[in-house]
């Protein structure tokens, strides 16, 4: 019994485009052979292409006929639905006086185009600045990544700080985005630091991560379950003394870190600082979704604890 094979719409469109391309090649070769009277080898090449095209036509006829009675469903109108939602929730002003698009709509179209051509972050900002110069003087086009994220209601929960790898003092940035150590007692003072002489520390927002974990596991934190083993942290005398002295519900975290090389051929390594909530039972405490990322240390030297956790807690 013959069983029909159904293909997705994307497959059918891809085959149709391939079929159209083969037909154009056939028409071009036929027209060129009639006008220029090419030799036998070229005619033989045209014959081979014609035979391949006819075979492809026969093979694709059944597949294309299968989708003649195809009807759109609710998943085929996603672009219209997105446009409708953007119109409803977009209350931003026009990009400039007399512009038919709002600021959010204009920036969204530009970012979508930049992503399709694989434009990096630096070139995206430079191109946005160039477009802003071309537009009328009073326009609301953002020209920094922070302003673009703020336009869509996104806030950056991380901060990056650069330190000198010798004295661990915070570096000063120059207009060319280079780093300089301003410590007079440091051997690297008052000169541009190289990449291997800089410590990069990224601090993330712990409150938002902790809020998400607590909300997701609120039942385990508020109700008394006997899920902790006798050897767990919650059974220690210091922990019980600390908890008994407080009148409100406390959240205790365990901080742990470990380093790994970024590239085998270099000594540059990255040290992530993780934290786990003690009040969660051990099987759930060590789950990936319940582990918080507090900070990242990237340098050739090992982390200095005071510098690493200074802006985290």
pLDDT in tens, 94-137: 888 888 888 988 998 998 898 888 888 888 889 999 999 999 88
Q: Do both 102 and 241 map to the same domain?
A: no
Task: Give the pLDDT of residue 89.
Answer: 57
| Same-domain status, 137 and 169 | no
State how far the Cα of 166 lies from the Cα of 99, in Å rounded to an integer.
54
Mean pLDDT of 211-230: 85
Q: Is residue 78 part of a domain?
A: no
pLDDT digits (tens, 9 = 90+) for 254-281: 998 888 887 777 788 999 999 999 989 8
Does the structure show a pLDDT above 50 at 12? yes
The answer to the question of residue 4 being in a domain is no
Is residue 129 domain-shared with residue 198, that is, in the same domain?
Answer: no
In this structure, what DSSP letter does residue 170 have? B
Average pLDDT over residues 240-258: 81
Is 285 found in the same domain as 191? yes
Shared domain for 38 and 123, answered yes or no, is no
CA distance 210 to 213: 5
Q: How many CB atoms lie within 10 A of CB 225?
A: 9
Rounded Cα distance, 312 and 303, in Å: 14
**Would residue 294 count as lying in a domain?**
yes
**Do 227 and 262 belong to one domain?**
yes
Number of Cβ within 10 Å of residue 188's Cβ equals 19
Both ends of the chain: CA-CA distance in Å? 70
The predicted structure's pLDDT at residue 2: 47
Which residues span the domain enclosing 51? 9-66
129 and 268: one domain?
no
- Asked whether 217 and 278 are in contact (CB, 8 A), the reply is no
Q: List, in sequence order, every beta strand (DSSP E) within the chain.
A: 158-164, 172-173, 179-180, 198-204, 253-257, 260-261, 269-277, 291-299
């Amino acid at each position: 019994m013959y069983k029909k094979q159904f293909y997705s719409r994307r497959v059918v469109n891809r085959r149709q485009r391939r079929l159209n391309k083969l037909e154009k090649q056939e028409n071009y070769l036929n027209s060129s052979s009639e006008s220029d009277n090419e030799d036998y080898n070229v005619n033989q090449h045209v014959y081979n292409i014609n035979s391949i095209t006819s075979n492809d036509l026969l093979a694709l006829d059944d597949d294309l006929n299968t989708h003649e009675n195809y009807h759109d469903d609710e998943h085929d109108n996603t672009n219209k639905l997105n446009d409708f939602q953007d119109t409803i929730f977009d209350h931003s002003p026009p990009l400039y006086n007399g512009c038919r698009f709002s600021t959010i709509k204009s920036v969204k179209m530009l970012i979508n185009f930049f992503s399709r051509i694989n434009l990096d972050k630096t070139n995206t900002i430079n191109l946005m600045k160039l477009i802003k110069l071309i537009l009328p003087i009073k326009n609301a086009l953002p020209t920094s990544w922070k302003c673009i994220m703020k336009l869509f209601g996104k806030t950056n929960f991380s901060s990056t700080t650069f330190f000198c790898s010798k004295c661990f003092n915070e570096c000063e940035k120059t207009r060319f985005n280079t780093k300089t150590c301003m410590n007079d007692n440091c051997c690297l003072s008052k000169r541009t630091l190289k990449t291997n002489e800089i410590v990069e520390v990224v601090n993330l927002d712990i409150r938002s991560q902790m809020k998400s974990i607590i909300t997701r596991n609120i039942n385990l934190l508020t109700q008394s379950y006997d899920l902790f083993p006798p050897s767990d942290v919650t059974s220690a005398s210091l922990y019980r003394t600390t908890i008994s002295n407080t009148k409100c519900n406390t959240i205790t975290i365990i901080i742990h870190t470990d380093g790994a090389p970024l590239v085998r051929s270099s000594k540059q390594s990255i040290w992530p600082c993780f934290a786990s909530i003690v009040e969660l039972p051990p099987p759930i405490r060590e789950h990936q979704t319940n582990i918080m990322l507090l900070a990242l240390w990237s340098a050739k030297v090992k982390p200095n604890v005071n510098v690493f956790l200074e802006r985290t807690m």
